[in-house]
């Protein structure tokens, strides 16, 4: 079966499986709304995949995937000698352009590669994801989230260095990079087998990730925001509108929409952090107590479901979902930079988890913690669980984006409206970024060509509608599972290829020290 045939058959098989599942689960159809039917089918189809990824370690309730991410980030941190601390200042120098040759002006700068990658990661993970983490795992989840962010910097460094080193440069000057390329070329260079196989598996998971976390989760939460403003209405309506706009950009090539989004999103990010800072400054007397709750909750759980293990799991899960360290998506985004030294992009990329998780996620968590939206028992000081006992009870019984929104509203009553706009824009920007990542994986599998590319883009738009119509539970489970599945394959490859990164790093640092690498500003 050639690649193009496979491209046409794969979605058909998927559609067939959905149809079968729909027949099994949708009865009686007249009793269910379209949203419920979509939700049921979706949950049934994705259930086994989700269960596999989140299977607990034998005899515990600890998902093996969380351990996988923590161990990898710790190994990279040690292997590269705390690069996230030692290389932090040099990363800033590189982003400022201190080492950029003026003769290369006009090429993609380090700043542009960083902000492009950030626009794919900063968004709902920082707003909704943190609220989910704090809602289920309590403020203590924030501690583990920050730790995961700090460790994740080393993982990001590793994958982005490789992304640039092994990208494909085509005769017309365009580039394509990402884990699938370093798996294929890097393994061959080291004489290791299995690189091509891993690249194919990664690409499949990357496509699922782009349809899940990069698409459905975004559409779902954008719909929740719009519903919060205009009242309840079916999700598929939001889905179709969103799908139409996404279609116009990725298929219709209406770049002006994407450009406007790319320019507005950073300002939304600044506005979000600014508002959080103001709320924190106004309530400065509670910041100490909030950090106290974060540290205490990290090790005791403060009565949340699952105790401190629950806090840890939530913290690491949501951090990984937010900053995508180890997932491999950043390696695709960063590989477009024009540099003679792949390590420089590794340095730059380590700022990403720092900005995304250590700074922005922490802001969200602090605002939620000090806002009083999480209900505590005045006598014991412990959190009160909701009726189902699955998460902390909140004022107004809210979760996800609505929890963050309610927390910010305690500082600025008008902020939920700004947040709603921000969420919609963030969601849209993340969708555009992930449509690109998914497309790169798709074209790696099925080859480049207008028909195959169009097919992926249409599938992507269909998933926007499904994501907006399905309920949060199944969507968030599938999104996490797909993104973590990418991390399983990607991190396996990083272990094999990390000696190459170290060689590059040592050589670069030596030349930097000797002055062979010129500083221009």
Q: How many residues belong to the chain? A: 521
Could you tell me the smallest distance in angstroms from the CB atom of residue 420 to other proteins? 22
Does residue number 173 form part of the binding site for other proteins (CB under 8 A)?
yes
Residue whose CB is less far from other proteins, 130 or 250 = 250
The contact pattern for other proteins, residues 480-509, with x = CB under 8 A and - = no contact, is: ------------------------------
Token code pair at residue 23: 């027949």
- Can residue 178 be called a binding residue for other proteins (CB under 8 A)? no
Of the pair 86, 96, the CB lying nearest other proteins is at 96
Helices (H), 30-129: 34-53, 64-79, 83-86, 88-96, 110-121, 124
Q: Work out how close the CB of 437 gets to other proteins at its nearest, in angstroms, rounded to a whole number.
A: 8
> Is the backbone of residue 30 left (phi > 0), alpha (psi -120 to 50) or beta?
alpha
Computed on alpha carbons and rounded to an integer, the radius of gyration of the chain in Å comes to 22
Which region, judged by CB under 8 A, interacts with other proteins, from 82-90, 345-353, 400-408, 431-439? 431-439
Of 379, 150, 425, nearest in space to 270 by CA: 425
* Residue 109 Cβ vs other proteins, minimum distance, rounded to whole Å: 3
Which of 15-18's residues contact partners 24+ apart within 8 Å by CB, and which partners?
A: 17/45, 18/45
Instruction: Identify which range of 16-24, 168-176, 391-399, 507-515 contacts other proteins by CB under 8 A.
Output: 168-176
CB 319 within 8 A of CB 484: no
Nearer to other proteins, 116 or 126 (CB): 116
- As beta bridge partners, residue 361 has none
State which of residues 2, 28, 31, 174 lies at the interface with other proteins (CB under 8 A).
174
Two structure tokens written together for 393: 């009870």
**184 in contact with other proteins (CB under 8 A):** no
- 8 Å CB contact between 155 and 179: no
Contact mark string toward other proteins, 370..409, x via CB under 8 A: ----------------------------------------
Q: Which residue is it, tokens 């207008």? A: 450
Which part of the chain contacts other proteins (CB under 8 A), choosing from 134-142, 149-157, 253-261, 357-365?
253-261
Q: How far apart are CA 157 and CA 326, in angstroms?
A: 10
- Contact stretch for other proteins (CB under 8 A) within 224-232, 430-438, 454-462, 469-477: 430-438
Is 203 a binder of other proteins (CB under 8 A)?
no
Phi and psi dihedrals of 376, rounded to 5?
Answer: -115, 155
Question: Residue 287 class from Cβ within 10 Å (0-12 exposed, 13-18 middle, 19+ buried)?
Answer: middle
Q: Is 28 exposed, middle or buried (0-12, 13-18, 19+ CB in 10 A)?
A: exposed
- Smallest distance, other proteins to C-beta of residue 97, A: 6
Between 336 and 423, whose beta carbon lies closer to other proteins? Answer: 336
CB of 336 to other proteins, least distance (A): 4
Q: Among 437, 460, 478, 484, which residue interacts with other proteins (rule: CB under 8 A)?
A: 437
Residue 158 found at the interface with other proteins (CB under 8 A) = no
Q: Is 258 in the site for other proteins (CB under 8 A)?
A: yes
Residue 450 lies near other proteins (rule: CB under 8 A): no
On the CB side of 405, how many CA atoms lie within 13 Å of its CA? 25
Establish if 266 lies at the interface with other proteins (CB under 8 A): yes
Answer yes or no whether residue 175 interacts with other proteins by CB under 8 A.
yes
162 is a site residue for other proteins (CB under 8 A): no
Residues 6+ apart with CB under 8 A from 176: 167, 168, 170, 335, 440, 443, 444
SS3 385: strand
Q: What residues numbered 52-111 form the site for other proteins, per CB under 8 A?
A: 97, 100, 102, 105-111
Q: Answer yes or no whether residue 176 interacts with other proteins by CB under 8 A.
A: yes
Angle at 133 between CA 129 and CA 139, to 5 degrees: 130
End-to-end Cα, the chain, rounded Å? 54
The verdict on 115 binding other proteins (CB under 8 A) reads: yes
332 near other proteins, judged by CB under 8 A: yes
* String of DSSP letters for 309-347: HHHHHHHHHHHHHHH-TTTSHHHHHHTT---S-HHHHHH
Kindly list the residues in this chain that would bind other proteins in the complex (CB under 8 A): 97, 100, 102, 105-113, 115-116, 119-120, 172-176, 255, 258-259, 262-263, 265-266, 332-333, 336-338, 432-433, 436-437
């Amino acid at each position: 079966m050639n690649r193009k045939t496979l491209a046409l058959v794969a979605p058909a098989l998927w559609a067939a499986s959905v149809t079968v599942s729909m027949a099994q689960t949708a009865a009686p159809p007249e009793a269910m709304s379209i949203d419920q039917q979509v939700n049921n089918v979706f949950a049934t189809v994705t259930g086994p995949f989700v269960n596999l990824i989140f299977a607990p370690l034998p005899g515990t309730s600890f998902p093996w995937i969380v351990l996988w991410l923590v161990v990898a980030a710790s190994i990279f941190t040690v292997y590269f000698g705390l690069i996230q601390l030692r290389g932090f200042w040099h990363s800033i120098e590189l982003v400022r352009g201190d080492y950029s040759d003026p003769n290369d002006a006009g090429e993609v700068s380090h700043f542009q590669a960083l902000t492009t990658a950030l626009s794919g990661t900063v968004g709902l993970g920082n707003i909704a994801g943190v609220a989910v983490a704090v809602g289920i795992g309590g403020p203590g989840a924030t501690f583990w989230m920050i730790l995961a962010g700090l460790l994740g910097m080393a993982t990001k460094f590793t994958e982005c260095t490789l992304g640039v080193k092994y990208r494909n440069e085509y005769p017309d000057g365009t580039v394509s990079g990402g884990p699938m390329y370093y798996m294929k070329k890097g393994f061959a260079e080291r004489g290791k087998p299995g690189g091509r196989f891993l690249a194919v598996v990664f690409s499949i998971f990357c496509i699922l990730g782009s349809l899940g976390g990069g698409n459905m989760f975004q559409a779902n939460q954008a719909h929740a925001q719009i519903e919060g403003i205009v009242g309840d209405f079916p999700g598929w309506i939001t889905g179709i509108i969103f799908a139409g706009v996404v279609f116009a950009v990725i298929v219709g090539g209406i770049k002006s929409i994407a450009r406007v989004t790319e320019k507005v999103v950073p300002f939304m990010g600044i506005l979000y952090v600014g508002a959080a800072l103001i709320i924190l400054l106004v309530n400065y007397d509670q910041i100490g107590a909030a950090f106290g709750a974060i540290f205490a909750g990290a090790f005791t759980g403060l009565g949340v479901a699952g105790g401190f293990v629950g806090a840890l799991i939530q913290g690491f899960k949501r951090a990984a979902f937010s900053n995508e360290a180890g997932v491999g998506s950043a390696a695709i985004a960063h590989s477009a930079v024009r540099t003679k030294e792949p390590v420089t992009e590794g340095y730059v990329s380590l700022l990403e988890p720092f900005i995304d998780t250590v700074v922005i996620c922490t802001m969200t968590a602090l605002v939620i913690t000090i806002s009083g939206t999480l209900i505590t028992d005045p006598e014991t000081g412990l959190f009160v669980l909701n009726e189902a006992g699955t998460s902390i009870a909140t004022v107004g019984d809210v979760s996800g984006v609505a929890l963050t929104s309610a927390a910010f509203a305690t500082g600025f009553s008008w902020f939920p409206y700004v947040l709603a706009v921000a969420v919609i824009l963030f969601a849209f920007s993340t969708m555009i970024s992930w449509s690109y990542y998914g497309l790169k994986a798709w074209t790696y599998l099925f080859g480049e060509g207008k028909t195959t590319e169009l097919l992926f883009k249409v599938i992507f738009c269909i998933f926007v509608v499904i994501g907006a119509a399905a309920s949060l539970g199944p969507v968030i489970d599938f999104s996490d599972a797909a993104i973590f599945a990418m991390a399983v394959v990607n991190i396996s490859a990083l272990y094999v290829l990390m000696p190459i990164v170290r060689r590059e790093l040592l050589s670069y640092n030596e030349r930097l020290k000797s002055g062979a690498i010129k500083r221009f500003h």
